[in-house]
């Protein structure tokens, strides 16, 4: 008979697991670009980049925690003038959408408390 498996083998340190929450904005496996879709372009891309809507040292983990991530084509992510990492207008589009999604579950006060400002 097989021995029952220990969930945490003796001596093994219980790993502190990082919580990876699914995007609440978009299905990861959709392979379309969030911004392309907004512009009426339904193209599927072989590679889409995961983008944390609120970036930076403090906010990136919070984006992860609350699932505020989108999937973008490489051009909309980093490699064109429209890319969210260089284009403030497109970056704001995402932040507003993310705040709206967040507020389906939480209050605006909580959003501002967590992310420091109101984008809507
Ligand atoms: Zn795109
Ligand atoms: Zn990014």
Distance CA 47, CA 74 (A): 8
Distance CA 68, CA 102 (A): 8
Distance in Å, CA 62 to ligand 1 centroid:
24
What region, left, alpha or beta, does residue 40 occupy, with left being phi > 0 and alpha being psi -120 to 50 degrees?
A: left
The backbone torsions φ and ψ at residue 25, rounded to the nearest 5 degrees and listed phi first, read -100, -30
Q: Looking at the CA of 49, name the nearest ligand.
A: 2
pLDDT in tens, 86-100: 999 999 999 999 999
Closest ligand, as measured to the CA of 84: 2
The model carries a pTM of 0.82
Task: Report the C-alpha gap between 46 and 22 in whole angstroms.
Answer: 20
The predicted pLDDT at position 2 comes to 57
Q: What is the mean pLDDT of residues 12-29?
A: 77
SS3 call for 54? coil
């Amino acid at each position: 008979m097989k021995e029952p498996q220990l969930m945490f083998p003796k001596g093994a340190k219980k790993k502190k697991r990082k919580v990876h929450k699914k995007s609440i904005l978009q299905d990861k496996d959709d392979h379309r670009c969030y911004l392309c879709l907004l512009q009426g372009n339904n193209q599927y891309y072989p590679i889409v980049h995961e983008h944390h809507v609120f970036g930076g040292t403090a906010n990136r983990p919070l984006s992860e925690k609350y699932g505020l991530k989108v999937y973008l084509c490489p051009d909309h992510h980093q490699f064109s003038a429209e890319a969210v990492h260089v284009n403030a207008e497109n970056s704001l589009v995402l932040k507003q959408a993310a705040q709206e999604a967040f507020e389906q579950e939480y209050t605006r006060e909580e959003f501002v408390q967590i992310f420091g400002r109101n984008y809507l």
